Amino acid sequence: MQRIVDISSFERSALCTERLTIRPFLAEDLDDFHAYAKVDGVGQPAGWLPHRDLDESRQILDRFLERRRDLALVEGGRVIGSIGLKEIPDGFTEFADLSGCELGFTLAKDRWGQGLMTEAVQAVIRRLFDEEKIDVLLCGRFDFNRRSARVQEKCGFVPYRRLMMTNAYGEEEPGQLNLLLRDPKIADTLAFSHPETLIYEGSVVSPEEMIALYRAQTGVCLPCECWAFGDSPDKLAGLVHRGIKRATCSAYPLYTADGEPIPKEGDLSVIENSQGYAVALIRTDRVTVCRFSEVGEEFAEAEGEGDRSLAYWRKVHREFFTRELAERGMTFDEDLTLVCEEFSVLLRAEDCRAAKKSRKTGEK
């Protein structure tokens, strides 16, 4: 994922709402920051304890200034809260090819109940979606934090995942992660990495479900391999899903060593993500056997990786095959024989979800 982890656009121009100015923190915000952060009950719902003294607030403010991910909410010249932007964890593979971040927020206790946090979060969302063009926002909360739940609901977030979260005292408590997409249609393109996803029932698709749908639609009962890419399986599966990656290649000596036949035209495969869920069903359209040094620009472009240039293809595949062959006691050279496959996508995960939804509607 291309993560949004700093506040560059807010440094260029502060964001103003009816009652608030939203801007990066400044060193001179220390007294205001400490004034609300020391109050009992402000930090605990967000997972942190009240600041013990001004020095603790100074250390935390210094981190804010260094990492450039935190915004100050200013009302009438006084800093009354913050909104932070955090990286989305790597385990959320469904967002691998999308830009986004996780939001967190805190408000001074004497400003609760005025609608200020909803006003601020809505404004930040508009800036991130309309100007930054990011795709996805996540926002978490503990179950006990009903104030945060109401803010997120008013801002359009929908339930995404149930999970255990660490509270201010180091204890695990139940919570919920909510999701907001710039374009709701993006949800139909996601191969969800977690079976407990709450977006809708049956959001993850098994390889068996995808194969069954293909056979039901076509009447074709050919064998179907299920596999994931060796390097960066989620990123590459995402490129296949989006139609960017239309080719792949493998080392011919490994087929020989394992006694396996090379792929052939018409073969069917289900591409899985790193969690073993189906992303797309593909058909091999063309197979070419050639030397590494003979691969041309057209095939490199069809592989869809990086800038899609032949130079990039040679660099990353030279590194990949060097590692892969070394693990088998073999060495790489430019004369390595490759099996180059070109393929087309026949089904995607959202096709299976749509079919399941249609069946359920018909059963009602």
DSSP, collapsed to helix, strand or coil, labels residue 338 as strand
- Are both 176 and 216 inside the same structural domain? no
pLDDT, tens digit, 9 for 90 and up, residues 27-83: 999 999 999 999 999 999 999 999 999 999 999 999 999 989 999 999 999 999 999
357 within domain boundaries: no
Work out whether strand 224-227 and strand 268-272 pair parallel, antiparallel, or are unpaired: parallel
- Residue at 364 is within a domain: no
Residues 259 and 319 in one domain: yes
Tell me what percent of the residues of the chain surpass a pLDDT of 90. 65
Query: For position 326, what pLDDT does the model report?
Result: 95
CATH of the domain at 141: 3.40.630.30
Task: Say yes or no: 102 and 223 in one domain.
Answer: no
Same domain, 215 and 163: no
Does 40 fall in a domain?
A: yes
> Does 274 share its domain with 323?
yes
Residues 99 and 231 grouped into a single domain: no
Does pTM surpass 0.75?
no
136 found inside a domain: yes
Establish if 359 belongs to a structural domain. no
Q: Is residue 223 part of a domain?
A: yes
In this prediction, residues 172-181 reach a mean pLDDT of: 90
Can you spell out the DSSP letters for 160-213?
EEEEEEE-TTS-EEEEEEEEEESSGGGGGG---S-TT--SSTT-S--HHHHHHH
What is the number of domains present in the chain?
2
**Burial class, 326, CB count within 10 angstroms (exposed 0-12 / middle 13-18 / buried 19+):** exposed
Q: What is the pLDDT of residue 203?
A: 59
Where are the extended beta strands (E) located within the chain?
2-3, 15-16, 21-24, 70-75, 78-86, 99-107, 136-142, 158-166, 172-181, 224-227, 247-251, 268-272, 278-291, 337-348
Provide the pLDDT confidence category of residue 180 given band limits of 50, 70 and 90. Answer: very high
Instruction: Note the pLDDT tens digit of each residue in 118-159.
Output: 999 999 999 999 988 899 999 999 999 999 999 999 999 988
pLDDT at 233: 81
Do residue 229 and residue 165 come from a single domain?
A: no
Q: Do 164 and 223 share a domain, yes or no?
A: no
Question: 161 and 12 share a domain?
Answer: yes
pLDDT 10s digits, 243-283: 899 999 999 999 999 999 999 999 999 998 877 888 899 99
Residues 154 and 251 in one domain: no
Which range of residues forms the domain containing residue 117?
Answer: 2-189
Instruction: Evaluate whether residue 194 is within a structural domain.
Output: no
| Whether residue 212 sits in one domain with residue 169 | no
Is residue 277 in some structural domain? yes
pLDDT at 290 over 90: yes
